[in-house]
Amino acid sequence: TPALSGGMGQNSPNLLWEACGRLSETFDPSNPHSHNPSSRLTHDTVEHVRYRILQHFNTTPDKYSVIFTSGCTAALKLVAESFPWSPPTAMEPASQFCYLTDNHTSVVGIRGVTSALGVVSLPVSPEEIEARARDVAQSECSSCQTPHLFCYPAQSNFSGRKYSLGYVRGIQARKLYPACDSQGRWFVLLDAASFASCSPLDLQEHPADFVPFSFYKMFGFPTGLGALLVRNDTAALLRKAYFGGGTAAAYLAGENYYVPTPNIANRFEDGTVSFLNVIALNHSFDTLHKLTGGMDKVQLHTFGLARYTYMLLSSLCHGNGQPVAQIYSDSEFENPSTQGAILNFNLTDCHGQIVGYSQVDKLASLFNIHVRTGCFCNTGACQIFLGTTNQDVKSNLQAGHVCGDDVDLVDGRPTGSVRVSFGYMSTFRDCQNFLNFVVECFVEKPVEVDQVKLDRLKSNTSSKGSSQCLITMLTNGKHKHIDNGEHASTDPVVNEYGGKAITKEAKSLGKAQYLTNIYIYPIKSCAAFEVTDWPVCPLGLLHDRGWMVVNGNGVCLNQKREPRLCLIHPQIYLPSNTLLLQASGMDTISVPLENHNEPHQSHGVCQSKLCGDRVQTVDCGDEAASWLSEFLGQPCRLIRQSPDFIRNMKKGHEKGVSSTALSLVNEAQYLMINHASVDLLQRHITSRQESSDHQPLNIHELVSRFRANLVISGLEPFEEDDWSHLIIGNTHFQVAGRCGRCQMIGVDQNTGAKTKEPLLSLSAYRKGKVTFGVYLVHQSLDGSNATLSVGAPVMSQWSG
């Protein structure tokens, strides 16, 4: 199980699987809408789970109803579609949909329903709720019955800030803004999705009208199941247009006649609920209480972990005194009633520049630490903490950044951040592993500590001993006091590689540039096939990444999922039109390169997904599938790109690169690396490992890790980053951009073993810019028989 989770307090489901597997031993479950014995038992068990959920939130069935949904978002959508929104009339104003700006997208999305109904949408900042509160005169609480809805999170899913649960009664009584400024009846939706994972919620004390949440965020299992808790006296006001199975007391097929069932839960649960998952909640609650003793203890435990990590991370500094992290929080983690078990931050380098969150994510994976990155479906909080304006968001979209991608910096400014969440399964060792990861990968040595800040933070905690022990370990016992009078150095380095700056002209002067190696990868993620000369086709090198291996579910396998792919050695023999598959301990088999003489129906034409693109592929038959399945130890099939299918490149349009046809490559037709860059990186890795027992990577091993098509020689290190065009032999190429690297370069191509190098050294050397090599597309081919040959001269052109 990963040490840390990127989800909102997600807890490990591992211990629940065995308990949930006992369902079949308990009884034979059946559709609860019937009356046979098994159905009645299912129905009664589901009803018992409803009571148990209400008990968990300290309320009873006479006060609240439990409506099962597919998740928290579905629960919010149900409220949006059934709330009695009122348009403006001559006598009364329109309903208002008011929401805190620090809300999840799924809450703000209610606006999509209300805007079409003439309902006023009002975003409210956290500061306004109490700052603009006022006493409402009794005369203002008169006859206006217009319903209004105010939505806020019990805990921010961005920063972990806990908002006052007292807002529930304050809004309902019209004592807080915006309710105090508008006549009518005010209802409160309390989003508990983040809060309920690690904190107790007492609905008897804080009787919100609607409480949506998801169970997987509480227990880790089951997924695809959430609930909406509705106050019974509020439920009578809800309207429902669609009616599904189990929701009707009576209806007519030939007449517009429908009477809903009086039971609130049955009325809103269209069709059959996911009763097996619902029943599994019994075991989820049992496991939670058995392991933790209750949510009060979970809250104290997870808050302690978050506070411990906050104290140390916020006090860490680079060797020049610059802080290591910029933490996004409204508190200093003093109290679990105001701060949840979430730590949100961006790391900074020794010059104060933000390290992109995607680079942190990639390196964290090497340490089996899983974090979540981006804006976490909370644009409002993201804008507040990152200082992003509305125009910035629109400009970032025009620059190519969309929610959920890995574009972490635009013009040097962050588009999101890193979030660490703790659950009841998390431990202090997890915290220490995370802090060690930060120090190893992102702190400019020697490690320093802001002792003044740390002492101030520790003054309110009892964890002085443990934090001091970790500081000693992180700094090897050597750290100095940094007070506020010291100014960290912000002098820029001579260049980003730590060497003496030289001109572009001087870099290549007198250097012979030539092509030293050509590699093709017939099967995506399998071993390279080195050649001395090779034909070029419209998709790139002929047959490069023309095939890929998919698992039993049709999902493409790569070395991140299945590192043993590198032990499969494909070889292509053009004269015999065959692809050979070879691996240790396996008989060699052959697959035809082309199948023009056979109808497509015999190949099994299928659709697959690759890097977000839909690709049309052809299955290569049962012999290859059996061979791969035996070697990899899981059901697999070999598929190739259909010759009739065209997949166009998306990368490089901002550089003016025209649309280019691709094979099953990730980004572009060719990947090129510079031997001089490999040499320099190899020396850096060796210097980092001098004090360890690790065997340094030799040049050949390092070249193989980067899985390039073309290797060139005779250049200065990383000069290729600034190229715009080049010519190899008689073939003209355009540079489509740099190649971002991930943990896949840590796979030893000889053994399949996973290592942390060279990704760690590459990130450290390039100051967080984890790129190596450049993508190329050919601009023109010299006739139909164009080839690339080892030894061909290389001529480059600089961008700009």
Can 377 be counted among the known catalytic residues? yes
The candidate with the shortest Cα–Cα distance to 167, out of 103, 75, 100, 86, is 100
> Pairing state of beta strands 96-100 and 120-124?
parallel
Catalytic residue among 377, 382, 526, 739: 377
Contact 612, 626 (CB under 8 A): no
The candidate with the shortest Cα–Cα distance to 356, out of 343, 373, 380, 370, is 373
DSSP state of 1: -
Question: How many beta carbons lie within 10 A of that of residue 469, not counting itself?
Answer: 12
CA Rg, the chain, in Å?
30
- For tokens 């959508």, name the residue: 77
Q: What are phi and psi for residue 416, nearest 5 degrees?
A: -170, -160
Q: What are phi and psi for residue 350, nearest 5 degrees?
A: -70, -5
| Residues 6 or more apart in contact with residue 699 via CB below 8 angstroms | 678, 679, 682
Q: What is the largest CA-CA distance in the chain?
A: 94
Cα dihedral across residues 253, 259, 265, 266: positive or negative = negative
- For tokens 């803004």, name the residue: 177
What is the spatial distance between Cα 265 and Cα 257, in angstroms, rounded to a whole number?
A: 21
What is the spatial distance between Cα 721 and Cα 736, in angstroms, rounded to a whole number?
A: 11
What is the b/e burial string over 687-708, where b = at least 16 CB atoms within 10 angstroms of the residue's CB?
A: ebeeeeeeebbeeeebbbbbbb
> Pairing state of beta strands 661-662 and 670-674?
unpaired
Helices (H), 475-620: 504-508
How far from 244 is each of 79, 250, 295, 738, CA to CA, in Å? 17, 12, 36, 53
Q: What are phi and psi for residue 355, nearest 5 degrees?
A: -90, 125
Cis amide linkage into residue 758, ω under 30° from 0: yes
Helix (H) or strand (E) holding 670: strand 670-674
| Residues 6 or more apart in contact with residue 309 via CB below 8 angstroms | 343, 420, 431, 434, 435
Q: What are phi and psi for residue 595, nearest 5 degrees?
A: -135, 45
What is the spatial distance between Cα 344 and Cα 371, in angstroms, rounded to a whole number?
A: 10
**C-alpha 737 chain-centroid distance:** 24
What is the b/e burial string over 28-53, where b = at least 16 CB atoms within 10 angstroms of the residue's CB?
A: ebbebeeeeeebebbbebbeebbeeb
CA atoms within 13 A on the CB side of 92: 18
Across-strand partners of 100?
A: 124
| Residues 6 or more apart in contact with residue 276 via CB below 8 angstroms | 23, 29
| CB neighbour class for 333 (10 Å; exposed up to 12, middle 13-18, buried from 19) | buried
Active site residues: 377
